[in-house]
Amino acid sequence: MRIRTWSVGSKGFTLLELLVVLTISTLALAVALPRFAALLPGAELKSYSRQTAALLRLARSQAIATGEEVALLFDREARQTLLTGRPAPYPWPERIELVLSAVTDSPPAPQEMTFYPDGTSSGGTLVVAGSGQRYRIEVHWLTGRVSFHD
């Protein structure tokens, strides 16, 4: 068995070379990170919009499964969404606004969307807006179908 030893002519990196590479990498990351962070508000908005659509679908499924009405309450003042039967509210991220245009007349705040045991709903359009973008979530009153639009 032969043991390999390092000599002056060996190929490898010195500690100084490694430190220089790490310093350059850190500087490059420091320059690139603020530009990357500018993309995040749009990603956060789209993600929250999709989560809200999923929450609406959950409310419809829960209404059908339990045979009871399930309401999703959009509280603009508290900036949170409440689902009937769930103790914890779903808070809205900063810089994001929700606006509900219901098919039926409802008071300005808080607003709600109700799903019935037969799969129908009160219906309406929920607009999720922020950082110059907006997404529409439509709920058909007759079928209760939830659709997400960019």
CATH number at residue 119: 3.55.40.10
64 inside domain: yes
Q: Mean pLDDT over residues 76-95, rounded?
A: 89
28 inside domain: no
4 inside domain: no
pLDDT at 109 (0 to 100) = 44
* Residue numbers of the domain that contains 101: 45-149
77 Cβ partners below 8 Å, 6+ apart? Answer: 109, 110
pLDDT at 13 (0 to 100) = 78
114 inside domain: yes
Position 33 pLDDT exceeds 90: no
Number of structural domains (the chain) is 1
Cβ neighbours, 10 Å, residue 127: 16
22 Cβ partners below 8 Å, 6+ apart? Answer: none
Tell me the pLDDT of the chain averaged across its residues: 84
Q: Is the full-model pTM beyond 0.75? A: no
* Among the ranges given (42-51, 98-107, 118-127), the one the predictor scored with the smallest mean pLDDT: 98-107
33 inside domain: no
15 inside domain: no
Cβ neighbours, 10 Å, residue 79: 15
Position 100 pLDDT exceeds 70: yes
- Label residue 126 exposed, middle or buried (CB < 10 Å: 0-12, 13-18, 19+): buried
Position 119 pLDDT exceeds 90: yes
